[in-house]
Amino acid sequence: MVSSHVAALKTKHAHIEARLREEMNRPAPDDTTIQTLKKRKLLIKEELAAI
């Protein structure tokens, strides 16, 4: 059960990472979106570390 949760978190983390790269490569990146994505990514990373 825990491994499926970890897998789901890793998938979310990878998805956020991809969106972050995409946003940063835009001609005019949105700083607010970048900050939000980074915070979400960090929360997932912290949750993974706690498991």
Q: Model-level pTM?
A: 0.85
- What integer pLDDT is reported at residue 2 of this predicted model? 82
Name the domain count of the chain.
1
Q: Is 16:37 a contact under the CB 8 Å cutoff?
A: yes
Q: What pLDDT is recorded for position 1?
A: 72
| pLDDT in 10s for each residue of the chain, 51 residues | 789 999 999 999 999 999 999 999 999 999 999 999 999 999 999 999 998
Phi, psi of 25 (to 5 degrees): -90, -5
Are the C-beta atoms of residues 34 and 26 closer than 8 Å to each other?
A: no
Q: Residue 9: which domain range?
A: 2-50
Output the 3-class SS for the chain: CHHHHHHHHHHHHHHHHHHHHHHHCCCCCCHHHHHHHHHHHHHHHHHHHHC
